[in-house]
Structure 1
Amino acid sequence: MKENLVLTISRQYGAGGRELAQILADKLGVKLYDRQIVHIAAAKLGINDLSEEELLQMENQVKPLSMSFIPFHSFGTHMGESSHGMFLSESSAIKKLAKDGSCVILGRCGDYVLRNDPNNFSIFVCADDEYREKRGQEVYEGKSLKELDKENEKRARYYDYYTGRTWGDGANYDLVVNTSREPLDKIADAILAYIERVKN
């Protein structure tokens, strides 16, 4: 496998993407970055007095798309300075982390930010509704499928807004995996075997 490998992972809520990302990081012996990126970005912006929940709320201030929607990536500060600055700062942090060495980056439009990085391998993690509904009850404190889907809508708006691309569209990723079929550990092994094959 390449000396420097950066896995960027996007995922449906309830599909087990976070657990899969951690398993992949453990198997590769590298760090997993997720919410740390938000804190790095906030520090760069000089925001030190907000809780993690408040930082995540600020990061996700994306309103539903209107008919007059103009993508951020082609227009600029349509969303306002706080969200604008947070996204740019997060993007800068992601690029720096990727340059520093192999790692796994969860969410944060990492696949888009590193789309021109030859060391990046992007993955989208999805699952069928039955699997996600079961995980919602067992892993996500009794969340319903409707609640999981609502979170997915927020993720899609955020991604679509900042990238001009469609969240979850297989054409935007190197690999799409469905976690409904096999245990996460087995899926992780299959992903790494596939990466080994295509990267070398």
Structure 2
Amino acid sequence: MENTIITISRQYGAGGRELAGILARKLDLKLYDRQIVHIAAAKMGIDDLREEELLEMENQVKPLALNFIPFHSFGTHMGSSSQEMFMSESAAIRKIAKDGPCIFLGRSADYVLRKMDNVFSVFVCADDDFREKRGREVYDGKSLKELDAEDAKRARYYNYYTGRTWGDGANYDLVVNTSSGDLEKMAEALIAYMRVMKG
């Protein structure tokens, strides 16, 4: 599995970011997350926005209308800043993936790299009690309602740009439930599983 690229999508509060970090450390791989946003912005010539503004621009997806045609149906970019951001991020992800093994957190990387043979995609989820506890302890007191609202944004973004359903197990090689909380053991199990599956 020396050349394997790992993509990790996750529910907010499920520990996906931490799990990605542990995997990156154990496998000695670079982990890409928000850096992709900055690379994409640089490619677009945007250098005057803060990270929060870039992330907001990235996540802008209009509410569904009756005559809604999802972005993925067009096949070409449609000119708005959020759509240009998605295209630019996708190009950056593909370029980085071609340079060698690494881990991508979020950014619809599982979809962007779906045609590559050496990609292993993971979706990380957890039960509401676990996420609610982490919301209080790890995410500055965020409520489960706030975590769910962030997930709704992620789902809307992913569904719009990919035509797939965010979190649907059929879109990933493996779905991992972190509710037991032992992320180190889960990382070891994931590595063992990927070694078996990817050789």
The TM-score bracket by the shorter chain reads over 0.9
Alignment of 1:28-67 (within 5 A): 28-67=27-66
Aligned-partner Cα distance in 1 for 2:26–2:107: 22
Where 2:120 maps in the other structure, the secondary structure is strand
Aligned-partner Cα distance in 1 for 2:181–2:59: 32
Report the CA distance between 1:55 and its aligned residue: 0.5
Q: Percent of counterpart pairs with the same letter?
A: 72
Structure 1, 140-149 or 59-68: larger mean CA deviation: 59-68
Unaligned runs of 5+ in 2: none
Report the CA distance between 1:71 and its aligned residue: 1.1
Q: Which amino acid letter does the alignment assign opposite residue 126 of structure 1?
A: C
* TM-score between both structures, scaled by the size of structure 2: 0.97
Q: Which amino acid letter does the alignment assign opposite residue 137 of structure 2?
A: E
Which residue in 1 is equivalent to 2:149?
A: 150
Q: Which amino acid letter does the alignment assign opposite residue 33 of structure 1?
A: Y
Aligned-partner Cα distance in 2 for 1:94–1:18: 18
Report the CA distance between 1:182 and its aligned residue: 4.2
Unaligned runs of 5+ in 1: none
Where 1:121 maps in the other structure, the secondary structure is strand
Aligned-partner Cα distance in 2 for 1:123–1:96: 20
8 Å contact from structure 2 (residues 4, 102) kept in 1: yes
Backbone CA RMSD of aligned residues: 1.1
Where 1:69 maps in the other structure, the secondary structure is coil
Alignment of 1:77-116 (within 5 A): 77=77, 80-116=79-115
Where 1:4 maps in the other structure, the secondary structure is coil
Report the CA distance between 1:81 and its aligned residue: 1.8
Aligned-partner Cα distance in 2 for 1:123–1:171: 11
Q: Which amino acid letter does the alignment assign opposite residue 145 of structure 2?
A: K
Which residue in 2 is equivalent to 1:180?
A: 179
Q: Deviations over 1:67-94 (max 9, x none)?
A: 322110112556x520111000000000
**Is 1:124 the equivalent of 2:118?**
no
Aligned-partner Cα distance in 2 for 1:84–1:131: 34
Q: Deviations over 1:139-196 (max 9, x none)?
A: 0000000000000000000000000000000000000000002400100110110000
8 Å contact from structure 1 (residues 126, 179) kept in 2: yes
* TM-score between both structures, scaled by the size of structure 1: 0.96
Q: How many residues align?
A: 198
Q: Which amino acid letter does the alignment assign opposite residue 95 of structure 1?
A: R
